Amino acid sequence: MSDDGTNGGTAERKYSCKECGNTYKHRSSLNNHRRFACGKSPSFKCNLCSSTFSRKFSLRRHIQTEACQTSKHDFPKS
Ligand SMILES: [Zn+2]
Ligand SMILES: [Zn+2]
């Protein structure tokens, strides 16, 4: 009867990411990880040049600065 206390080790981190296995104490930390850090998979894609961005702001700036249209789409200047 010595295996009774199991809350002395790593029982603090109970929120684990299913994608990468990282563990966090708070659920908010896990949510933040899932949104911005996990896998660093860019979720915003430019329809014009297929560039991907991890943040919506980056995509908007990419489009607004016409950085994409000048690189992939070589529009003839008339
Ligand atoms: Zn993860
Ligand atoms: Zn683009």
Domain locations along the chain: 13-40, 43-78
Per-residue pLDDT tens digits for 5-44: 555 555 678 999 887 788 999 999 999 888 877 766 667 8
Residue 1 Cα to ligand 2 midpoint, Å, equals 64
First to last CA, the chain: 86
Q: Are 15 and 27 in contact (CB under 8 A)?
A: yes
Ligand nearest the Cα of residue 40 is: 1
Q: pTM for the whole thing?
A: 0.38
CA 62 / ligand 1 centre spacing (Å) = 27
CA of 21 to the centre of ligand 1 (A): 6
Q: How far is the CA of 14 from the centre of ligand 2 (A)?
A: 40
**C-beta neighbour count of 68 within 10 angstroms:** 18
Q: What is the pLDDT of residue 41?
A: 64
